[in-house]
Amino acid sequence: MTDRKPTCSPEGCDSRSGSGGNRREFLGTAVAAVAMALTGCGKLSKEEFLQHNFQELSKDEVRSVIARLEKEYKAKYGKDVKVATTPPLPGVIFGYALDLSRCIGCRRCVHACVKENNQSRDPEVQWIRVLELDKEEGVNLQHAEQYYNPEEVPREGHFYMPVQCQQCKKPPCVKVCPVGATWREKDGITVVDYNWCIGCRYCMAACPYGARHFNWGEPHLTADEVNPDTHYFGNRPRPKGVVEKCTFCIQRTRKGLYPACVEICPTGSRKFGNLLDKTSEIRYILENKRVFKLKEELNTQPNFFYFYGV
């Protein structure tokens, strides 16, 4: 996470300017200078280096972090990128249901997600993986193919199963994170603090759904491609060397909108809503349809359900 290209703030780049202040400020500047020397790059600002875990930040600190990020994005992409910190809505736990009897595997969701969530385009990071499965085998992941590319879908004898972050109630990825850079929010969304993530990828090894993705290189995203409506935990442009994942489009859903994948799906296979609302679509599905959870035996307790709408 030390390889970003933000413009340096004056006090962050000039290590001597801080020496006139108090002891804490001096030490901070000194540590940042040492870090710069060690990592061999002078791109990391002092503020960024010293930023704490998001959960520990005071309101003022959050404000200054957001201001710094927005300034960096403005400098990098030449346009205003808004970074929201919208908190969870009270009385809401998000649930998702996907109709396996309707999905035709067209991958519209995959690409709408990339567009909405500012993923790296080269190489393209995709948060949704659509598996092509044999009807004869049923949900047998040993017969899954994710690189299918026929002229037309659905193919005879196959069905399709998109897999993305299952927003588990007992997320193994959170359990293994050595620095507490990922956690489950009150509305059931597991988020990542990209500025606290050290890129160890333990979470990727722990996730049984392959839902987490790593930025091996500097994410390539042109200014035209940037979606300026972002959230700190969601689709704000990521630095190199951090892990990212589906957040149910946190920047949209906390404002009451459907996730981008729900909006794009031409077959209406994707259903989303509040699990605590008795009148929601998601509750209707859970109460009236045949529902299953992927890899239920692992006791990860997903809030993402697969169902058969027929």
Partner 1 sequence: MTIRPILFTSLTLLLLGLPASANPPGVKAEPPAQEGIQVPKPPFTEGIFPCTSCHDGKSMKLNTQRRPLKDMHDDIVLQHGPESRWCLDCHDPKDRDRLHLASGEPVEFTTSYQLCGQCHGDKLRDWREGIHGKRTGSWNGPKQYLLCVNCHNPHSPRFKSLKPMAPPMRPGEIQVRKGSAR
Please choose, from the candidates 57, 31, 55, the residue with its C-alpha nearest in 3D space to the C-alpha of residue 45: 31
Q: Which of 21, 87, 210, 268 lies at the binding interface for partner 1 (CB under 8 A)?
A: 268
Q: Which of 195, 253, 300, 303 lies at the binding interface for partner 1 (CB under 8 A)?
A: 253
Complex with partner 1: residue 46 or 245, whichever CB lies closer? 245
Does 255 participate in binding partner 1 (rule CB under 8 A)? yes
Does 285 participate in binding partner 1 (rule CB under 8 A)? yes
Does 214 participate in binding partner 1 (rule CB under 8 A)? no
82 phi and psi angles, rounded to 5 deg: -90, 125
The interface region with partner 1, picked from 61-69, 98-106, 166-174, 298-306 by CB under 8 A, is 98-106
CA dist 146 and 14 (Å) reads 49
Q: Which of 226, 265, 275, 294 lies at the binding interface for partner 1 (CB under 8 A)?
A: 265
Token reading at 132: 């092509």
Please, are residues 132 and 155 in contact by the beta-carbon 8 Å criterion? yes
Token reading at 240: 């190199």
DSSP state of 143: G
Residues 49-78 that bind partner 1 (CB under 8 A): none
Q: How far is the CB of 152 from partner 1 (least distance, A)?
A: 4
Q: How far is the CB of 270 from partner 1 (least distance, A)?
A: 9
Does 212 participate in binding partner 1 (rule CB under 8 A)? no
Please choose, from the candidates 184, 186, 187, the residue with its C-alpha nearest in 3D space to the C-alpha of residue 168: 184
Please, are residues 210 and 225 in contact by the beta-carbon 8 Å criterion? no
116 phi and psi angles, rounded to 5 deg: -70, -40
One-letter amino acid for residue 310 of the chain: V
Does 235 participate in binding partner 1 (rule CB under 8 A)? no
Does 227 participate in binding partner 1 (rule CB under 8 A)? no
Does 301 participate in binding partner 1 (rule CB under 8 A)? no
Complex with partner 1: residue 180 or 210, whichever CB lies closer? 210
CA dist 4 and 238 (Å) reads 9
Please choose, from the candidates 147, 150, 145, 123, the residue with its C-alpha nearest in 3D space to the C-alpha of residue 134: 145
Binding interface with partner 1 (CB under 8 A) = 92, 99, 104-108, 110-111, 122-124, 126, 129, 146-154, 216-218, 220, 253, 255-258, 262-263, 265-268, 271-274, 277, 279-281, 284-285, 288-289, 309
